[in-house]
Amino acid sequence: MSDLEERTFIAIKPDGVQRGLIGEVIKRFEQKGFKLVGMKMLQASQELLHNHYADLSTKGFFPSLIAYMSSGPVVAMVWEGKGVVKTGRVMLGATNPADSAPGTIRGDYCIHVGKNVIHGSDSVESAEQEISLWFQPSELVSYKSCAFNWLYE
Ligand code: IDP
Ligand code: MG
């Protein structure tokens, strides 16, 4: 996989969906120059969320995190492009919105760590793992077979 094909898993959490931020999040990633290669709206199962947040299962806030993520539909997406994992995290802002810079998604749209609007993979390895957890390979598109050349390729 070339560095242009790096992928990250981004999810708009239930509060982001309820507050009408789906378009805003997509707009930011799209206009930055990243490619959307997969997207679906779903009510995440308990099993999926326990797998997704397995590394946080010993934390005191884990039950409330699972309840929060189960409180409504989420929009799961895979975005592709050079440096998309790291840049995606920068675009999200710090985990706690109190520390998220203005101009970031969390910095602009939330105030509480327990309702922080959006998820983004924190490393290339966790991105691969999360993408395979949330998506079947057949649900992701490749632009390689397109008749046009992507802007950055
Ligand atoms: P991240 O989402 O920025 O990667 P993580 O540490 O992986 O942050 O935590 C996952 C999610 O768990 C956070 O986005 C947030 O929704 C929730 N969370 C993290 N820390 C706390 C906390 O101290 N209280 C409540 N919820 C938290
Ligand atoms: Mg995390």
* Percent of the chain topping pLDDT 90: 89
Q: How far is CA 123 from CA 60, 120, 128, in A?
A: 24, 9, 9
In degrees rounded to 5, what are phi and psi of residue 122?
Answer: -100, -5
Nearest to 75 by CA among 127, 103, 35, 38: 38
Are the CB atoms for 50 and 107 separated by under 8 Å? no
Annotation says 119 is catalytic: yes
Residues with CB under 5 A from ligand 2 (ion): 122
The pLDDT, as a whole number, for residue 153 is 61
The pLDDT, as a whole number, for residue 152 is 64
| pLDDT tens track for 93-139 | 999 999 999 999 999 999 999 999 999 999 999 999 999 999 999 99
Interval between CA 96 and ligand 1 midpoint (Å): 7
- What is the reported pTM? 0.96
- The rounded distance, in Å, linking the Cα atoms of 88 and 67 is 25
